[in-house]
Structure formats: structure tokens, C-alpha cells
Copies of this chain bind each other. A is one copy, B any other.
Amino acid sequence: MTRQRAAGGEDGRRAATRLRLFGAAVEVIAEDGYAAATVEAIAERAGVAKGTVFYNFGSKDGLFTALLEHGIRQLAETMTRAAQAQESPLEALDAVIMAQLRFFEEYAAFARVLLTEMWRTAWQETIATLRREVLGVYADTLREAVIRGTVRADLDVETAATALFGMVLTTSIERRALHPTRPVEQLHATLVDLVHGRVADHLLSE
């Protein structure tokens, strides 16, 4: 049982170990950040020996980079799928916000890790993927809305995309920390209200 499927093995013993290490790493790093996390603590939580981390990822840095790539890929896929399932750009925008909220609800630890590490110069290469593929979903949606004329043509789409992503990220963490039982739907409603200008809708005549 232990050694079959020798070639092509995307699963098997080794892949299982790697996944366990991802899970342990994201939790440990979420608690005190990458620099403060120790390989020892990660290995212990994963139930393997310290040496195993180095056998599988070469270095602490290697583990973290692989973890970031793994998480970003999943987040990007989730959000892209959500955007594609919608008809109008504004519906898509709401759906993407919801997808990001749900993803961070399930992987709250990853949200923390992203927030604290995405600005470090150290992982720029990996974070570029985030900017391209995740912020890209927001940007594409907004661009589509501009094309369809449902959003003003002079909007700074890139900045708006960052603002949206940061807003959802920040409030996801805030919710987790302060109101963990509150349903995400409620948070979604508040954010969508804010973005759609429904906050002060009767002021638009001013």
C-alpha cells in the first residue's frame, strides 16, 4: 500500500504530507505572522518531524511560497467561477464579493496571512499572481461594467479593484475577530449597500 503508484503520483504519501503541512502552516502563520512562526510548530501541528518540512519544501521560505501559490490559485478560481455565472456586471460584482467573503469565511487563517504578508517585498513574485488573477477579477468586472455603460468611464478601475478587495479582506477579518457568529450574508449586504451607493441614495439629488 505504501509504495504503489510510484510514477505520476499527485497523491500518495508525499502529497498527503504536503497538504497536511499546508493546513498546519496557514494556521500557525495566521497566529503570529510568517517571521514569528517556527518550522517546529508547523511540523508539530502537522504531526510530522521537523526534518520532513525540509525534505518536502527545502526551506521555510519554500513552504510558504508553495502555500501562498496554493491558496491564491484556489481563491482566484472561486472568484472567477462566481463572476462567470452572472449576467450583468453589477450582479457579477456582488457575486465576486460574496465569493471572496465565503472563501475567507472558510479559510479565515489564509485571509489573515494574505493581509499581513501581501505587501512584503519578500514575496513579490508570488504576490504578482494575486494582483493579476484575484484583483484581476474585480478589475475585469468593473471594466465590463464600463463597457456596458453601467459605470462611469473615468473610474480608476485598478484602484477601485484594490479598494474592493481590501474592503472585503479587512471586514472579513474584523468579522471573524469580533462577530464570528454573524452570517456573511449580513456583511455582504452592508458592503454591497456601500458600493452601490445605497447608503445615502436619497442624497443624489443634492
**Chain A contacts to B: CB under 8 angstroms:** 31-36, 90, 112, 115-117, 119-122, 145, 150-152, 155-156, 159-160, 162-163, 165-167, 169-171, 173-175, 177, 186-187, 190-191, 193-204, 206
- The count of identical subunits is 4
- Assembled-state Cα–Cα distance A163/B159 (Å): 16
Main secondary structure of the interface of A (DSSP, over half): helix
Contacts of A163 in B (CB 8 A): 167, 170-171, 190-191, 194
A152 to B192, CA, bound (A): 14
- With a cutoff of 8 Å between Cβ atoms, the chain B residues found around residue A152 in the complex are 193, 198-201
Look across to chain B and name the residue whose beta carbon is closest to the beta carbon of A37: B35
A199 close to B155 (CB less than 8 A): yes
Interfacial chain B residues near A34, Cβ < 8 Å: 33, 35
| CB closest residue in chain B, given A186 | B156
The answer, among B35, B119, B170, B177, for a CB contact under 8 Å with A36, is: B35
Whole-angstrom distance between the alpha carbons of A116 and B195 in the complex? 25
Could you write out 27 A-B pairs with CB less than 8 Å apart?
A32-B35, A32-B120, A33-B34, A33-B120, A35-B35, A35-B36, A90-B200, A90-B203, A115-B116, A115-B119, A116-B117, A150-B200, A151-B200, A155-B199, A159-B187, A159-B190, A160-B190, A160-B194, A162-B174, A163-B170, A163-B194, A166-B166, A195-B199, A196-B203, A197-B197, A197-B200, A201-B204
